Structure 1
Amino acid sequence: MTTFLTDADVRAVFDWREAIAALRSAYAAPPDEARFPPRTMARGEGLWLRTLSGVPGDGSPMGAKLIAASPRNRRASYLIPLFDQETVELRTLLDGNSITGFRTAATSALAADALAPVGPLRVAVIGSGFEAQHHVRALAAIRELSSVTVHSPNPASRTRFTEQLGSLGPPLHTADSASAAVEGARLVLCAARSRDESPTLREVPPGTTVVSIGSTLPEQRELDTEVIRNAELIVADMVHEVAHETGDLIAAKEAGIDFAGKLVALADVVSGRVSPPDADAVVVYKSVGSAVQDLAVAAMCARRAAELSLGTTLPVTVCPVAK
């Protein structure tokens, strides 16, 4: 039978440490485009439907994430089906809304842990919404944070950010500008785009690790071209898509910046096949999201839900047919 997990079920069973551990295991394998092909995007008038699919090599559930979005109406729906690799039965159907935010932040924490200097981290956050908050929570689950400074255009949003993360532990501060927030930080989390799609992060000092997750489409911008120019290493969850389908890298290429030789896959960093540069280098992790992340976190949530007897058994299921 098929179990359906609502968004509330997903939030009830989710655990940051277990999610990051599942992602670490998933990214230990070499990149395999046959198992995790590039995402597809169908576009209509003010609508788009994105599909991310994958077949994990460790035998864990295969599946996909479907995202139906109407940017003009500021609405989106997320659905994740998980199929048993042996029987091809539909075992779990999940509302993917919270998983999307959880997996992005958990993967960023995995990347930051591998790339940022060892020891307590002084963190700057550009953006104050749920993605920004998730990223701080994810990072705090596996690293000691000496301080967190947030900037977003709205002072009330900055205050709300510090109030909602007040119980996390590290000192929380607000800044009136991105440059003020970044000053002295060793890790910068970029989780917001400007309304006019101009870069929100224009420069960072040597020795800074930058995590950028807020610009995933050609028309979106988050990082100035100088940040890309000065980076010694650029790590991507999906190398081809980051290079050719994100506004930040498209703008860098148009500015004449040759980044191909310093762009590597997250899997190569997590597995140790590529070593982080020296501590005084600028390093960028750029994320567009991938099925590797969705399926690893969704499978973890499905397993924990089964252990806790959470979820709804559907009265019907999708039955495999002989071919």
Structure 2
Amino acid sequence: MNHAVPEASENPTPLVLDAAAVTRLLPPAAAADALAAALRDGLDPESAAPRSAVPVPAGELLLMPAASASWAGVKVAGVAPGNPARGLPRITGSYLLLDGPTLRPVAVLDGAALTTLRTPAVSALAIRHLTAPGRPVRLLLFGSGPQAYGHLAAVLAEREVTEVVVVARDPGRAARLAAHARELGVPKARTGTAGDVPDADLVVCCTTARTPLFDGRLVAPGATVVAVGSHEPDARETDSELVRRSAVYVESRAAAAREAGDLLIPEAEGVIGPGHRAGTLAELVSGRAAPPGPAVPRLFKSVGMAWEDLAVAVAVYGAARTDYGRSG
């Protein structure tokens, strides 16, 4: 995370980067590159600090700190399940980025926008390693919220997409996301159902579901499934059969053991053992783990980690300082 940006002492007043700035400054592929660079620089996700979750009347407060030699940061996020009914985002919050040696604040970023950028970037990095480069994919996307839009952009930045099928509880929102995919140049984009799973090369799940979205027996051998919607041990988007069939990859074995209900529930059922992991994101990036052959599905389960927020926030800050230098 040693990006070439001015030191904190050169900028005593923290930059304030709103949602529009965060989205504009760093495209999805660059965010994925920042994550890969952090892992190649030796960051160990297994030793990363766990998130703290505090129940509150409106939902849940999450505290996510992370640090390296050069940088430190903390995200305070709110998860308010009642917000969408009020026309407000479900995820709220702010990110405070600090200079590592002095712990002086250098920037405050919109936390929801950072999450909307970071989570698809993590998925994109996994997709780089779990899907064949140069091979067009048919994308099945579960969800129609900000993460669904973010994941659509991230997948398009990584792979050629010949078809997008959107599955969501709200037909109108699903149709709007499909129309957005057509505007982005996808030849075919439509709404669909879980019955479209067998035809998908890439299935992305970014919902608030607490129970499986589809029958895991339907996923084709060699297809990739990315599940990012939950970080609770009793919630999942995929079923036990898919997990049993799949080569499973995670951000961190320790984080998955704490929070990945998609894996913990099958373990509790006795369907898989606790060692049912083919590798981690760091092992994929370093080449220590490789995708399996075409006979089995690949499942990447993400719970979201604080080191990812820090890596992407540093990259956004670097882009902001460069942008400021051009306009100053």
* TM-score above 0.5, yes or no: yes
Matches within 5 A, 1:198-213: 198-203=211-216, 204-213=219-228
The alignment yields a C-alpha RMSD, in angstroms, of 2.1
Matches within 5 A, 1:1-323: 1=12, 2-28=14-40, 29=42, 31-34=44-47, 36-56=48-68, 59-72=69-82, 75-118=90-133, 119-180=135-196, 182-194=197-209, 197-203=210-216, 204-231=219-246, 233-263=247-277, 264-309=279-324
| CA shift in 2, pair 1:158/1:71, >3 Å | closer
CA contact (8 A) 1:83 1:91 kept: yes
Among all aligned residue pairs of Structure 1 and Structure 2, give the percentage whose two residues are the same amino acid.
32
Query: SS where residue 123 of structure 1 aligns?
Result: strand
What are the Cα deviations for residues 113-133 of structure 1, in whole angstroms up to 9, with x where unaligned? 101133222211112222112
CA contact (8 A) 1:22 1:296 kept: yes
CA contact (8 A) 2:115 2:309 kept: yes
TM-score (norm 1): 0.86
For residues 77 and 175 of structure 1, the distance between their equivalents in structure 2, rounded to whole angstroms, comes to 28
Q: Which amino acid letter does the alignment assign opposite residue 31 of structure 2?
A: A
CA contact (8 A) 2:179 2:190 kept: no
CA contact (8 A) 2:230 2:236 kept: yes
CA contact (8 A) 1:193 1:200 kept: no
- After superposing on structure 2, the runs of 4+ consecutive aligned residues of structure 1 that deviate more than 6 Å are none
Deviation (angstroms), 1:190: 0.9
Unaligned runs of 5+ in 1: 311-323
Q: Which amino acid letter does the alignment assign opposite residue 123 of structure 2?
A: S
What are the Cα deviations for residues 268-302 of structure 1, in whole angstroms up to 9, with x where unaligned? 11111111111232111011111121111111111
CA contact (8 A) 2:260 2:301 kept: no
What are the Cα deviations for residues 229-281 of structure 1, in whole angstroms up to 9, with x where unaligned? 111x2111132232332332232122212243332321111111111111232
| CA shift in 2, pair 1:145/1:32, >3 Å | closer
Greater relative contact order (CA < 8 Å, ≥ 6 in sequence) = 1
CA contact (8 A) 1:193 1:199 kept: no
TM-score (norm 2): 0.85
| CA shift in 2, pair 1:32/1:117, >3 Å | closer
Structure with the bigger percentage of helix: 2
CA contact (8 A) 1:210 1:284 kept: yes
| CA shift in 2, pair 1:267/1:277, >3 Å | same
| CA shift in 2, pair 1:15/1:32, >3 Å | closer
